[in-house]
Structure 1
Amino acid sequence: MHLDPITLNNGVTMPRLGFGVSGSRDTRAAVSEALAQGYRSIDTAAVYDNETAVGAALAGSGLPRADLFVTTKIWNVGRGRGGALRSARESLDRLGLDHVDLLLVHWPNDDLEPCLRTWEAMEQLLADGLTRAVGVSNFRPSHLRRLRGLGGTAPAVNQVELHPHHQQRELQQVHAALGIVTGAWSPLGRGAVLDEPVLRGIAERHGVTPAQVVLRWHLAQGTVAVPKSDSPERIAANRDLAGFALTGDELRAIAALDVPDGAGRIGPVPDRVDRIAA
């Protein structure tokens, strides 16, 4: 399985391992390095304020557009249909692209009408060929069920915080039932999980890094992971996942690292999205 692509619910294929750029210090340099190291999936967002740098790196790579998988995200809160359409087109302008491969609603909105209007915009963008697939980010089971209750296009991906300390098993079960691929942002828990003795022990046995162990764990679960780094060495190492596989006992040991009641979360709680500046 290694890095074979995963097929989304609309037939589009997506790399299982991508490169994230949230908080990148030098986005153009980091993306250029990632592309040189073999990454072909780049994950950005309007709110990261670095789509222009991502676009410059993509253009400078010389790689055919068909070989790349580009994800960006639009804000939902307070946007509505017109705002979402405008935001997506502005993202394309900054990226220098005529389409992205995956467009996500970045955060849920607990008001039904704005949510409906935003999702109508996503479906319009899909129909117009400005994105090849649409999905969501940070949606909880209640948000997903409400969105599916609207009918229409099913989200292809829900990208959420997911790492050994915050495994979101209930949410993953909902994804499986609805045919939604689980995407993981902060797949390494911002490094907080990497000092776990369990992970260090597994890494030593396989002659790899704890980060490589965690990313291999994501792949074993069928999760699409988007690690990020500004270090060329780590960018290369995070993609070097061939040559070892985790045993059943090792997978169970990592599963035991989940912190109960969501206490392992390091990012914002989706229900409190109104507290986040868009």
Structure 2
Amino acid sequence: MSAVFPMYTIRPVLNVRRTMVETDVRLSTGYTMPTLGLGVYMNDECAEACKVALQNDYRMIDSARFYENEAQVGVGIRGSGVKREDIFITSKVFHTDFTYDHTKAAVKDSIANLGYSYYDLYLTHSAVGGTAARLAAYKALLDAKADGLIRSVGVSNYSAKHIEEIREAGLEMPAVNQIELHPFCQQKPIVEYCNKHNIVVQAYSPLLRGALDNPIIQKLAKKYSKDGAQILIRWSLQRGFVPLPKSSQPQRIISNNLVFNWNIEPMDMAKLDALDRGKEGAVTWNPVDVD
């Protein structure tokens, strides 16, 4: 029997193509998701980072089974003083568990690790494994959603062809596609497809893994009296993405969230847009073209 969850309070969401951006975006499932979250990849002791983030106005944390820190996320939440229902929590099942039974078991284990009864969003972590494995894992997530363990289901590192498999199978389309996105790797065909099909695009590695020494980024940081990370996060927001910057440093976590009360001018957005190098600009594995 499907669980019935109360919806988040829906705040007005502006068209993502406008310069001003909201702090929440509505998903196709009817829930709302914050437009900025804390990533915790490569931070297996992330409880303190999560606590700091939540105590400084973050309301989304992005984890994964592969990160081996779901339990730490739970510890951080409980230490933050913020109510669970006010936080949007994501995890992902890795392709090594892409069978129906293994994925269902993975979700239950993720919930046990977190110490709460549900996830707001759960993703297939990549498109590795082939069509049959992808669909089996995705169907397992949809069934976990029907069981009340997950509120929304999505994918990560999927290209249009991988999402088309889901549509052609007659399954509910993903609410989210999480891909590497920043000015050097803009993945325009995937973004265009997702926009067309009402799939929210989350941006991982929005800070180039710290490689912020590009002269254009530095020049704009000086112009706007911001740091390079804030420029990149604001670019992502103005492009309609949901960036997931990661950090374990309290001051960096706080400053990465100071991006909602100012704008990058169109002429400067264009300068950042011109940095795109396609897939060659990726700084991670970026497995969007696997069979």
TM-score by length of 2: 0.89
Task: Give matches, 1:1-278, under 5 Å.
Answer: 1-24=20-43, 26-77=45-96, 79-192=98-211, 194-260=212-278, 262-270=279-287
Distance 1:168 1:271 in 2: 9
Retained in 2: the 8 A contact 1:74–1:104?
yes
Partners in 1 of 2:44 and 2:97 — Cα distance? 29
Deviations 1:124-180 (A, max 9, x none): 011111111000001112111122211121100000111111111111001111111
Q: Equivalents in 1 of 2:45, 2:137: separation in Å?
A: 31
C-alpha distance in structure 1 between counterparts of 2:290 and 2:161, whole Å: 15
CA distance in 1, matches of 2:227, 2:265: 16
Determine which structure has the larger helix proportion and give its number.
1
CA distance in 2, matches of 1:169, 1:244: 25
CA distance in 2, matches of 1:183, 1:271: 14
| Alpha-carbon distance in 1 for matches of 2:201, 2:97 | 26
Q: Which amino acid aligns with 2:149?
A: L
Would you say how many aligned residue pairs link Structure 1 and Structure 2? 272
* In 1, Cα distance between equivalents of 2:33 and 2:288: 28
Q: CA deviation at 1:272?
A: 7.9
Q: Which stretches of structure 1, 4 residues or more, deviate above 6 A after TM superposition?
A: none
8 Å Cα contact 1:110/1:143 also seen in 2: no
In the TM superposition, what is the alpha-carbon distance from 1:265 to its structure 2 partner?
0.9
- Residue 110 of structure 1, CA deviation: 4.7
Cα distance between partner residues in 2 of 1:195 and 1:142: 35
| Whole-angstrom CA distance in 2 between matches of 1:221 and 1:180 | 14
Identity %: 36
Unaligned runs of 5+ in 1: none
Task: Compute the displacement of 1:121 (Å).
Answer: 0.5
For 2:123 and 2:82, how far apart are their aligned partners in 1? 24
Say if 1:187 and 1:226, in contact at 8 Å, map to a contact too.
yes
- Do the aligned residues in 2 keep the contact of 1:181 with 1:223 (CA within 8 Å)? yes
Distance 2:78 2:170 in 1: 37
* Cα distance in structure 2, aligned partners of 1:151 and 1:196: 44
Per mean C-alpha deviation after superposition, the further-off stretch among 1-10 and 48-57 is 1-10
Once the 2 structures are TM-superposed, how far is the Cα of residue 64 of structure 1 from its aligned partner? 1.3
Contact 1:77–1:107 (Cα < 8 Å) also in 2: no
Q: Is the contact between residue 77 and residue 108 of structure 1 (CA under 8 Å) also seen in structure 2?
A: no
Corresponding position of 2:14: none
User: What is the alpha-carbon distance in structure 2 between the residues aligned to residue 54 and residue 208 of structure 1?
Assistant: 29
Looking at structure 2, the residues matched to 142 and 254 of structure 1 have their Cα atoms a distance apart, in angstroms, of 28
CA 1:211 to 1:140, structure 2 compared with 1: closer, same or farther past 3 Å? same
Residue 236 of structure 2 aligns to a residue whose secondary structure is helix
Question: What is the alpha-carbon distance in structure 1 between the residues aligned to residue 268 and residue 220 of structure 2?
Answer: 7
195-204 or 264-273, which moves further after superposition? Answer: 264-273
Gap runs ≥5 in structure 2 = 1-19
